[in-house]
Amino acid sequence: MAYLIPELIRKKRDGESLDDDEIRDFISGVTAGTVADYQIAAMLMAVYLQGLDHRELATWADAMLHSGDVLDLSSIDRVKVDKHSTGGVGDKLSLPLAPAVAACGLAVPMVSGRGLGHTGGTLDKHEAIPGFQVEIETERFVRIVDQVGASIIGQTARIAPADRVLYGMRDVTATVESIPLIASSIMSKKLAEGIDGLVLDVKLGSGAFMKTHERAVELATALKAIGEAAGKRVTAVISAMDEPIGTRVGNALEVEEAIAVLRGEGPADTRQLTTQLGAEMLLCGDACTSPEDGIARIAAVLDDGSALDIFRRMVEAQDGDPRVVDDPRAVLPRGRGRSSVKAPASGTVQSIAADEIGNAALLLGAGRRRKEDRVDPGVGIVIHKQRGDAVEAGEPLVDLIHNDHGVDEARERILAAYDVDLQPINTSTQAASRVLEVLR
Amino acid sequence: MAYLIPELIRKKRDGESLDDDEIRDFISGVTAGTVADYQIAAMLMAVYLQGLDHRELATWADAMLHSGDVLDLSSIDRVKVDKHSTGGVGDKLSLPLAPAVAACGLAVPMVSGRGLGHTGGTLDKHEAIPGFQVEIETERFVRIVDQVGASIIGQTARIAPADRVLYGMRDVTATVESIPLIASSIMSKKLAEGIDGLVLDVKLGSGAFMKTHERAVELATALKAIGEAAGKRVTAVISAMDEPIGTRVGNALEVEEAIAVLRGEGPADTRQLTTQLGAEMLLCGDACTSPEDGIARIAAVLDDGSALDIFRRMVEAQDGDPRVVDDPRAVLPRGRGRSSVKAPASGTVQSIAADEIGNAALLLGAGRRRKEDRVDPGVGIVIHKQRGDAVEAGEPLVDLIHNDHGVDEARERILAAYDVDLQPINTSTQAASRVLEVLR
């Protein structure tokens, strides 16, 4: 079926639905390189402005998924689940979640891209552990998932190649913030993992890509629809991303916090999110009877050391230095400089703008502006004062862990991020869960 | 001012207005080749779906105009006017209009592109005259306009190069049918002629690009707004394009009909349109006192041979065979075959679908499907039965003038075009002017 590409663009431009065959033809042309760049761009803009209905979206994502390889994990007996987050500042949840969920009897095969962001992605965070290899053979990855219960591998060029083309085009054509394009991009890669169930953590707030509740629900719904059309069990969680998560932002620093959580310690908010998201992953994999049961199970494997043990075996299996588990500070890279940002006045921390904390981390070198940028694993931010904390003028709000550059600009961002005021803060709000809504 | 192109695309995508500087930056980047094809495509789709307001449109067209050369006709004393038609089947009006208007004292400098269509453009029609050169030096063109009163030249690569890029992109990205893109494309080229006034003939109907009155008015208004923002006197005429114009369709055949009109003869509808459009051109150039006065002046120069004389001098000045004026049939190329399409039943011609007549001419080789196609000047259609004419079964409706191919398919198109029925037709409708509306 050779459709004329301009005719497909016209249909979408005029708000009509594309047939399944038309969508598959378009995506296979994108993959094969027979659709010109300018035609892809015109189609992306038409999709941006006219949308895709549920059936179109499911087909579009499925066509992208099948533009490349789909992992065959059928040799692994356990139920396979994963989690994907739309990205937040200080979001290191995948690190404790994978071993914790594996400790509860499920398998967690993580395939991760690098992407852009304030700090590195899950891949970069694992790579902050000396020796840790993410570019491993698929066979080895499958073996580690089978034997250890969890493993992480870098996304290869053979996974969803159509997404690679579209993703690269969206940034330069102002078609990034489109729900169907975001949803199909995420799901085409996640479904390539060959999983049975998936928990999607859709971040909402000033530090997230989705700024309004409506948009977050729209994205969650689209993601769920694609996954369910593909026969997967999918839960979408909408969680607050106004304040950074936990007290460490930056790659090695986040590994440190993740290990603390795996020891049954760590900041309360990070632990709470780990148990809640972990419970949803267990529910997806039929490994618990209720959210409360799931939370209890995750809490148990964090507290009894079994999650930490799986993490240690996973690090070892991927050539990382396993001593990181016992003494992270001695093993992880760390910026040479440490510089406090002090509170200019006394009061209570009313809010911390997550996006400004993220910008500060980016300025220090923790993230990527462009695909080709290198991440500095050792830099980042140690947060001393979280939302609701009392602070005296001159006390450190955060410490910047840095190397050669970005300190002055990062300091400005930190001061802009903190809102300290004399009025007291409602502690019930402070202690509230970040999980705002769960779409099971 | 180096704007980030994705930011400009985003603004338009979100329905915001682009600043003048932003538009000029975008168009100059298009001209210089620094804006990538896919970014042009995304912007075109965003403009297609979000539109341009009047100020943006005027700036966009002006930026396209000044992306290249603007003819300097200041050495010519006479007021300079031109006419542009959005294109219709059998529309040969430029051929009699230019000499007729010149005979009334104005100058008509025509710069014409080739474009696509059922039959060739004005350029191709002139080229059907043996020897006629349209690729002439600008200096020579200006001299002919000055001395003869009218001349035609092919659009060079130096006229509105930004339009060349955008025009080439629109067809393959399904962004052709956009009022602001159509209007700015037309006006950037017409204003490059260095004229004082312009009459725009916006065709409306089944055989035209604009199918609804609303769209035609929208285009007419956009064209007028651009021209007036550039300080030109602009009149937009909306004229009916349901039936083909006159009785000859095809390049040499249309020259023949044009010469008949220049002799004071020719089909009534072609003559009427010539006098009406000519009157509007005279009004634009202050060469008559009212539309009625203008019509009378044009009729006079058609009837007294002075328009024909100017046409003869123009043909001669551009190396064409001037004998075409006295004996067109002996000089013009003509397809080797002639084949009648006969009426299958008796009755009155209720309507003739102009687009199907156009398709028939295209099948015979009179027009271009693709830019690189060659036009066959000698083929086309001679219409024997116009709307309202009585016809007996077996009488010829049209004759196909053809060479080697397309006859059978063209015959089918002709039969599909004609609606012959026993019911009588309202002759007042039949005699009505094609001019539906004039926006002065």
SS3 (DSSP) at A153: strand
Cβ pair B50:A49 closer than 8 A: yes
Rounded (10°) CA dihedral A297, A298, A300, A302: 170
In a domain, A72, yes or no: no
SS3 (DSSP) at A351: strand
Closest CA of chain B from A37, distance in Å: 5
Looking at beta carbons, which residues of chain B come within 8 Å of A36?
Answer: 37, 172
pTM, 2 dp: 0.84
First to last CA, chain B: 38
Q: Could you count the other beta carbons within 10 Å of the beta carbon of residue A95?
A: 23
Whole-number Å distance between alpha carbons of A115 and A84: 13
How many domains does the structure of chain B reveal?
Answer: 3
Looking at beta carbons, which residues of chain A come within 8 Å of B10?
Answer: 174
What integer pLDDT is reported at residue A53 of this predicted model? 95
Catalytic choice (B25, B62, B163, B269): B163
Active site residue B290: no
Cβ pair A174:B45 closer than 8 A: no
pLDDT tens digits along A155-184: 888 889 999 899 889 988 999 889 999 999
pLDDT tens digits along A198-225: 999 999 998 888 899 999 999 999 999 9
In a domain, B435, yes or no: no
What integer pLDDT is reported at residue A428 of this predicted model? 59
**Residue A424 tokens, joined:** 């007291």
Size of interface A-B (CB pairs under 8 A): 86
Residues A218 and A259 reside in one and the same domain: yes
Q: Which of A5, A49, A169 lies closest to B13 in CB terms?
A: A49
Whole-number Å distance between alpha carbons of B382 and A383: 86
Looking at beta carbons, which residues of chain A come within 8 Å of B49?
Answer: 13, 45-46, 49-50
Closest residue, chain A, to B37 (C-alpha): A38
For an interface test with B, give the residue of A45, A167, A181 to mutate (most B CBs within 10 A): A45
Active site residue B189: yes
Whole-number Å distance between alpha carbons of B7 and B317: 51
Decide: residue B373, CB within 10 A, 0-12 exposed, 13-18 middle, 19+ buried.
middle
> Chain A interface residues facing chain B, Cβ-Cβ under 8 Å?
5-7, 9-10, 13, 36-42, 44-46, 48-50, 169, 171-175
Cβ pair A41:B46 closer than 8 A: no
In a domain, B59, yes or no: no
Residues A203 and A94 reside in one and the same domain: yes
Cβ pair B45:A50 closer than 8 A: no
Average pLDDT of adjacent 10-residue blocks, chain B of 440 residues: 81 97 96 94 97 96 95 94 93 97 97 76 94 94 96 89 91 91 94 94 91 94 95 96 95 98 96 97 97 98 98 98 96 97 95 94 89 89 95 97 94 96 72 86
Q: How many residues are there in chain A?
A: 440
Residues B381 and B255 reside in one and the same domain: no
Residues B166 and B111 reside in one and the same domain: yes
In a domain, B76, yes or no: no
Query: What's the CATH number where A394 sits?
Result: 3.90.1170.30
Looking at beta carbons, which residues of chain A come within 8 Å of B7?
Answer: 174
Range of the domain at B388: 334-427
Closest CA of chain A from B419, distance in Å: 30
In a domain, A285, yes or no: yes
Active site residue A213: no
Pairing of strands B248-249, B380-383: antiparallel
Residues A196 and A225 reside in one and the same domain: yes
Geometric angle at alpha carbon A256, from A255 and A258, rounded to 5°: 60
Q: How much of chain A, in percent, has pLDDT values that exceed 70? A: 98
Closest residue, chain A, to B171 (C-alpha): A6
Nearest to B34 by CA among B165, B184, B178: B165
Residues A237 and A143 reside in one and the same domain: yes
Per DSSP, A203 falls in state E
Per DSSP, B190 falls in state H
**Residue B157 tokens, joined:** 């690569």
Looking at beta carbons, which residues of chain A come within 8 Å of B175?
Answer: 13, 42
pLDDT tens digits along A270-325: 999 999 999 999 999 999 999 999 999 999 999 999 999 999 999 999 999 999 99
User: Is the pLDDT assigned to residue A1 strictly greater than 60?
Assistant: no
User: Is the pLDDT assigned to residue A81 strictly greater than 70?
Assistant: yes
What integer pLDDT is reported at residue B125 of this predicted model? 95
Looking at beta carbons, which residues of chain A come within 8 Å of B42?
Answer: 41-42, 44-45, 173-175
Catalytic choice (B170, B224, B297, B334): B170
In a domain, A59, yes or no: no
Residues A322 and A341 reside in one and the same domain: no
Q: Which of these three, B269, B300, B328, is where a domain ends?
A: B328
Residues A238 and A137 reside in one and the same domain: yes
Geometric angle at alpha carbon A392, from A389 and A396, rounded to 5°: 80
Decide: residue A408, CB within 10 A, 0-12 exposed, 13-18 middle, 19+ buried.
exposed
Rounded (10°) CA dihedral B241, B242, B243, B249: 50
Query: What's the CATH number where B21 sits?
Result: 1.20.970.10
Q: Could you count the other beta carbons within 10 Å of the beta carbon of residue A345?
A: 11
SS3 (DSSP) at A362: helix
Cβ pair B174:A42 closer than 8 A: yes
Catalytic choice (A124, A163, A196, A355): A163
Catalytic choice (A12, A80, A126, A189): A189
> Facing residues of B347 across strands?
B391
Whole-number Å distance between alpha carbons of B367 and B359: 9
Q: Which of B5, B46, B169 lies closest to A45 in CB terms?
A: B46
| DSSP code string of B53-111 | -HHHHHHHHHHHHTTS-----TT--S-BEEEEE---TT--THHHHHHHHHHTT-BEEEE
CA-based torsion, B263, B266, B268, B274: positive or negative:
negative
Instruction: Compute φ and ψ for B283, nearest 5 degrees.
Output: -60, -45
Q: How many residues are there in chain B?
A: 440
Sorted by sequence, the CB contacts under 8 Å of residue B206 that are 6+ apart come out as B241, B242, B353, B354, B355
What integer pLDDT is reported at residue B120 of this predicted model? 78
Cβ pair A173:B9 closer than 8 A: yes
Catalytic choice (A24, A66, A84, A271): A84
Looking at beta carbons, which residues of chain B come within 8 Å of A178?
Answer: none
Q: Which of B169, B172, B174 lies closest to A13 in CB terms?
A: B174
CA-based torsion, A322, A325, A331, A335: positive or negative:
positive
Q: Which of A10, A50, A174 lies closest to B9 in CB terms?
A: A174
What integer pLDDT is reported at residue A437 of this predicted model? 93
Looking at beta carbons, which residues of chain B come within 8 Å of A35?
Answer: none
What integer pLDDT is reported at residue A287 of this predicted model? 97
> Facing residues of A108 across strands?
A150
Closest residue, chain B, to A36 (C-alpha): B38
Whole-number Å distance between alpha carbons of B95 and B273: 12
Residues B37 and B110 reside in one and the same domain: no
Active site residue A124: no
Catalytic choice (A85, A185, A188, A239): A185
In a domain, A71, yes or no: no
Cβ pair B174:A10 closer than 8 A: yes
Query: What's the CATH number where A247 sits?
Result: 3.40.1030.10
Taking a C-beta distance cutoff of 8 angstroms, is the pair A159, A69 a contact?
A: yes
Q: Which of B42, B169, B173 lies closest to A175 in CB terms?
A: B42
Catalytic choice (B24, B114, B118, B189): B189
Residues B316 and B183 reside in one and the same domain: yes
Strand ranges inside B129-232, DSSP E? 150-154, 197-204
Closest CA of chain A from B173, distance in Å: 5
ipTM: 0.81
**Residue B331 tokens, joined:** 């000089």
For an interface test with A, give the residue of B10, B16, B45, B166 to mutate (most A CBs within 10 A): B45
Whole-number Å distance between alpha carbons of A63 and A160: 9
Q: Which residue type occupies A208?
A: A
Q: Which of A6, A169, A175 lies closest to B174 in CB terms?
A: A6
Taking a C-beta distance cutoff of 8 angstroms, is the pair B384, B398 a contact?
A: yes
Whole-number Å distance between alpha carbons of B79 and A418: 69
Cβ pair B38:A173 closer than 8 A: yes
Cβ pair A41:B42 closer than 8 A: yes
> Facing residues of A234 across strands?
A198
Strand ranges inside A41-167, DSSP E? 81-85, 108-112, 150-154
Whole-number Å distance between alpha carbons of A297 and A282: 9
Closest CA of chain B from A372, distance in Å: 19
In a domain, A438, yes or no: no
> Facing residues of A342 across strands?
A396
Summary mean pLDDT of chain B: 93
Strand ranges inside A186-322, DSSP E? 197-204, 233-240, 248-249
How does residue A109 score in pLDDT terms, banded at 50, 70 and 90? very high
Closest residue, chain A, to B47 (C-alpha): A45
Pairing of strands A81-85, A197-204: parallel
Whole-number Å distance between alpha carbons of A273 and A268: 9
Q: Which of these three, B278, B297, B328, is where a domain ends?
A: B328
**Residue A245 tokens, joined:** 């998560």
Cβ pair B13:A171 closer than 8 A: no
SS3 (DSSP) at B421: strand
Q: Which of A36, A45, A171 lies closest to B45 in CB terms?
A: A45
Cβ pair B39:A171 closer than 8 A: no
For an interface test with A, give the residue of B38, B40, B48, B175 to mutate (most A CBs within 10 A): B38
Residue listed under structure tokens 């013009």: B332
Summary mean pLDDT of chain A: 93
Residues A175 and A204 reside in one and the same domain: yes
Closest CA of chain A from B1, distance in Å: 19
Residues A364 and A295 reside in one and the same domain: no
Cβ pair B41:A39 closer than 8 A: yes
Q: Which of these three, B328, B363, B392, is where a domain ends?
A: B328
What integer pLDDT is reported at residue A205 of this predicted model? 92
What integer pLDDT is reported at residue B1 of this predicted model? 45
Cβ pair A173:B7 closer than 8 A: no
Active site residue A84: yes
